Amino acid sequence: MKVVRFAHLRNLRRRFVGLALVLCIAPIAQAALPRELRVPGGVALVKVGDAASPAPTASRDGAKLWVARRGGDWVAVVGIALSTTPGEQQISVETGGATSTQSFRVKAKSYPVQKLKLDRAMVDPPPEVMTRIERESSHLKLVRNTWRADAETSAAFIIPANGPLSSRFGVARVLNGQPRSPHAGLDVAVATGSTVIAPGDGIVVDTGDYYFCGKGLFVDHGSGLITMYCHLSEFIAKNGDRVKQGEPIARSGGTGRATGPHLHWSVFLNGVSVEPELFLPAKPQTAR
């Protein structure tokens, strides 16, 4: 009996040692990263260290950057603002107390122009709503820039609504003949009441009724990756809810500044709006 028990224990010990070895030599999980496109509105993956060393921290214009593992490297996943001037750009990297600078090049990209006719109040808001717009703008800026570090952050998104893409990211907009900020999201033409799903796992961090966005909802995916949904008719998930990829979060509509019902979807990285399609599975080039 005793012999059998010892053999059993030895077996267990062997299994434990085996498991510990597997855990030690198993590579650190590779994060699913967005596709790289070094243009205004794109994403740069900038090497900031060797994965054999602890992860450095990186920042750009004071905003902390997502640092993820790619192969044998640590890379900073840098969201490049649409307003970025093409040319040499820099990020700041901190390794073991020492700060250094890393450069990368941003190429020019010309986005198409779209002319729209909208209700005058939406293009030139009346003075009485300016206070509301300013208040909402600083609130939304805070939402875009508040995030938690999360080792599980994944950029492998699925599209949050199914429908034709009616306006692409980055399109230069001329509203009622006046040039305005470029389109900082992707529009999906869907009827009011269509289900909007979470493109990836995350936490709902804000819901509200905003002048331009209408009914809007934000999901924090961790590490500075935040998504926004505008013109909704109804919220399904509420503030603080943990959501899984594919889970319904809202219903689409035409609230706020919208010419008709559609979903406006924005993706933010380090506080700036970037091309959502870089987070979706690659499509054949003919789709563009």
Contact residues for Zn ion, defined by CB under 5 A: 185, 187, 264
Q: How is residue 153 written in tokens? A: 């952050």
Q: Are 229 and 253 in contact (CB under 8 A)?
A: no
Q: Smallest distance from the beta carbon of 277 to Zn ion, in angstroms?
A: 14
Q: Are 43 and 80 in contact (CB under 8 A)?
A: yes
Q: Smallest distance from the beta carbon of 76 to Zn ion, in angstroms?
A: 28
The gap from C-alpha 117 to its chain's centroid, in whole angstroms, comes to: 29
Q: Smallest distance from the beta carbon of 112 to Zn ion, in angstroms?
A: 14
Through-space distance between the first and last CA atoms of the chain, rounded to whole angstroms: 72
Q: Residue 165 forms beta bridges with which residues?
A: 188
Residue facing Zn ion at closest CB distance: 264
For Zn ion, the closer of residues 147 and 169 by Cβ is 169
The gap from C-alpha 20 to its chain's centroid, in whole angstroms, comes to: 35
Tally helices (H) and strands (E) across the chain. 3, 20
For Zn ion, the closer of residues 76 and 186 by Cβ is 186
Q: Smallest distance from the beta carbon of 285 to Zn ion, in angstroms?
A: 23
- Nearest-angstrom CA–CA distance, 76 and 130: 37
Q: Are 175 and 118 in contact (CB under 8 A)?
A: yes
Q: Are 50 and 70 in contact (CB under 8 A)?
A: no
Q: Smallest distance from the beta carbon of 183 to Zn ion, in angstroms?
A: 6
